[in-house]
A and B are shown apart, each in its own frame.
Chain A
């Protein structure tokens, strides 16, 4: 069996939504170069809807594919849907990830949540703090 599913390889080879949104309404960055993955997600939000999402990723094949898939899954969706996106949904949409690569999908979920938190804070919108990752530390490796 190959290391990655065809879906992962497709999103890795032809990542969707790569780039930067200069006038983003929310930006979230997670990970740590020491651990070998950094993900940065940019969101454009209008009328409580994700009208655009872009990403930049430093990381392995599954990190790039997870960012690509996660941005695809939230584009055009209400903010509440983006907030509810789980890493499991990203894994399923990619037809699975190897066990030691699951943390890449967790990074994608966390990056989106951080971007939404940034959006709420910029706009003074009340939000439930318990729904967000507490910090930007990397728990996935020993550094």
Chain B
């Protein structure tokens, strides 16, 4: 038995996406830049996928650039905006403390190159406000980059309002929407978005493919030099099977999105209610302003990796967002950003649902997590001290 609740890490490829992709491996394998008919058929597939994706995002197909994924799109958006800013003497960028590392590490690099970075506080519930953005914007601000939904705790940021502030102030607005696209409404016009990053494998599309949407008129700096693909903004032969699969997966994901959200929210609230019964546990991130399938908890007195390994033994595939699994010993920057102390941040669990998960699975997960947390506490000296009153509980 295997219960997959790590859809924030990646998702299963949908059958529709797979069947859309298959002809492009052995039948329609042409290079879209070739002039012969096999190449031109590939080019038609590329144009068709671009048009369909643009329709979902509500933009012009020319505003879609295919990338290798979300990280590349984030890198290119931020670097391009930084270069554009520098030409006008604007070298200030606003972001948040809990962005994905694809954003934070790019900003770190720009900081070393003389840019000034303001990281907004995300508060206890993992939310920023448009007002914070307004206050942080300066004469020399060239970019605001705020994620649509956080990848660990799932909190949804008010990007439409943030976008409106940026429009008013004449500052470019980029959003890392990797966790949001396919799960939440996206409309780049209505939501005042200048640039947006997305990744196909987060919505049941293939890995290794993503999109950078950039509004007409924003000059993009290529990260990869070479041929004239993607109108000179991204060199390299296009990954046609993946692009076609992404278009199919995106259409499928947004078809009936509201019913799927309702179903997921039901499962999510049930999980939250069940796990909240574990003593000295706490939900991370706002209770309601979060991705429909995201549940993220901290449990006092235990460490996240042991929890994950024992859940895996019970057939549950989850993640912690904790350091241990990633090879670093420092706890999650996201949990630290919402003010969880290190001691607590080590004992975290993220369950990210898809609409394939069932109520029965949720019941099983609640029981399994409750048992494993109790067991790990029974062998934990920290828990013994807490129980004996030698230390005070951090999570009441």
Contacts and interface: CB of A to CB of B under 8 A. Distances in A.
Interface in A27-57: 29, 33-40, 56-57
A61 B343 contact: no
Interface string A1-41: 00000000100110100111000000001000111111110
A12 B379 contact: no
Interface string B372-385: 00000001111110
Given A36-B323, A61-B306, A64-B306, A56 B380 contact: yes
A37 B303 contact: yes
A36 B331 contact: yes
Contacts of B304: 60
Contacts of B301: 58
Interface string B313-349: 1000000001110011111000000000111001000
Given A56-B384, A100-B327, A36 B346 contact: yes
A58 B329 contact: no
A58 B380 contact: yes
Contacts of B383: 58
A100 to B, nearest CB: 5
A56 B379 contact: yes
A143 B323 CA distance: 14
Nearest to B344: A33
B330 A142 contact: yes
B152 interface: no
B343 to A, nearest CB: 4
B13 interface: no
Given A12-B309, A34-B342, A58 B330 contact: no
B127 interface: no
A141 interface: yes
A38 B306 contact: no
A77 interface: no
Nearest to A18: B379
A29 B381 contact: yes
Nearest to B308: A61
Contacts of B303: 36-37, 58-60, 63
Interface residues of B, number: 27
B305 interface: yes
Interface residues of A, number: 31
A13 B346 contact: no
B384 A33 contact: no
Nearest to A19: B379
Contacts of A56: 379-381, 384
Interface in A104-143: 140-143
Contacts of B380: 38, 56-58
B302 interface: yes
A58 B342 contact: no
A61 B327 contact: no
Given A35-B329, A100-B329, A141-B330, A64 B379 contact: yes
A12 B330 CA distance: 22
A5 to B, nearest CB: 13
Contacts of A143: 330, 342
A36 B304 CA distance: 9
Nearest to B300: A33
Contacts of A58: 301-303, 380-383
Contacts of A29: 381
Nearest to A103: B329
Nearest to B313: A13
Please indicate which of the listed interface residues A61, A100, A140 has the most CB atoms of chain B within 10 Å of its own CB: A61
Contacts of B322: 36
B126 to A, nearest CB: 22
A38 B385 CA distance: 12
B386 to A, nearest CB: 10
Contacts of B379: 15, 18-19, 56-57, 64
B329 A38 contact: no
Given A33-B346, A35-B342, A59-B306, 20 more contacts: A12-B309, A18-B379, A20-B384, A34-B342, A34-B343, A36-B329, A37-B303, A56-B380, A56-B381, A58-B301, A58-B302, A58-B381, A58-B382, A64-B379, A100-B327, A100-B329, A141-B329, A142-B330, A143-B330, A143-B342
11 contacts: A9-B309, A33-B343, A36-B342, A37-B303, A39-B381, A58-B303, A58-B380, A60-B305, A60-B306, A61-B309, A103-B329
Interface of A: 9, 12-13, 15, 18-20, 29, 33-40, 56-61, 63-64, 98, 100, 103, 140-143
9 closest A-B pairs by beta carbon, nearest first, are A60-B305, A36-B346, A34-B342, A141-B329, A56-B381, A40-B381, A33-B343, A58-B380, A58-B382
